[in-house]
Amino acid sequence: MTRLVIATRRSRLALWQAEHVKSRLAALGHAVELLPMSTRGDELIDRRLDQAGGKGLFVKELENAMSDGRAHLAVHSMKDVPAELPPGFVLAAITAREDPRDAFLSNTFKSVSELPGGATIGTSSLRRQAQIVERHPALEVKLLRGNVETRLAKLDRGEYDAIVLAAAGLTRLGLEGRITAHLGADEMLPAPGQGALGIECRSGDSEVVALLTMLADPATSACVRAERAVSRALGGSCTLPLAAYAVRVQGNQLRLRALVASADGKRVLRQHAEGAAMEPEALGNRVAEDLRRQGAAEILGL
């Protein structure tokens, strides 16, 4: 193709992600332009996403740009992509994963366990909220929305004692020095797809699909597909306090861990299993079914 257009959100992180994919496509000999756009998810910063309409708020305008021919592809943080794409669209590639962990940031305290009772910790994620409250019920979890820079500014103004952000976004922006502590999967199980980038395009645009497939990382793709299968089987919405994280283990096996919780952290269900990397959706569906047997449907209101 002589010219490709990438639809992207305007935030500095989204632009970094789009530029990253642009550079990889340029290395293959393609001319690439960016089409920066504002999405409803960027504009609604006073409510949690589950109250405003879900993950699709970050991708709908980008999909519209692809539908009407203004763009050929869009780059997303995989944790922001709904489990089900609209008809006519496909995730043509999932690229190699950055650090999937969450990060604890504070100008005063060194870890979540150091926060005193009544301290405020900011997040917009029900998944993070549930896991924090389960372990630290005396903390006050407050809504934190906005781009990375906005969230850091709120921390620096003293509006929060601490905040939790994805480590990958901070690393990509050169802000890893702001990380006070990384939260391992045992302490904070990540969101499905966290740390990975997905490249979406129209499913009928075979030339673009074939080109983008060259950017995919097979190991990351298998892990993320397993994680997203859990989300899809349990409703596929950011209204769910749900976590899922898969890693490649010996041979062609994946180990998948998943969690479903009530928002108040009083009920937390966990499940893990191993399965073939060649059948990641089957593994994710099996873990989701095990969670249903434990009572996930009751917690999630399914």
Q: What is the dihedral of CA 57, 198, 82, 134, to 10 degrees?
A: -100
**Tokens of residue 110, six digits:** 């060194």
Residues 6 or more apart from 34 whose CB is under 8 A from it? 5, 6, 8, 15, 18, 19, 22
Rounded to 5 degrees, φ, ψ at 185 are -60, -25
Count Cα atoms within 13 angstroms, Cβ side, for 55.
23
Q: Catalytic residues, which ones?
A: 80
Name the residue among 245, 108, 230, 236 with its Cα closest to residue 187.
Answer: 245
Residues 197/95, Cβ–Cβ less than 8 Å: yes
SS3 283: helix
Q: Which of 116, 156, 158, 157 is nearest to 140 (CA)?
A: 116
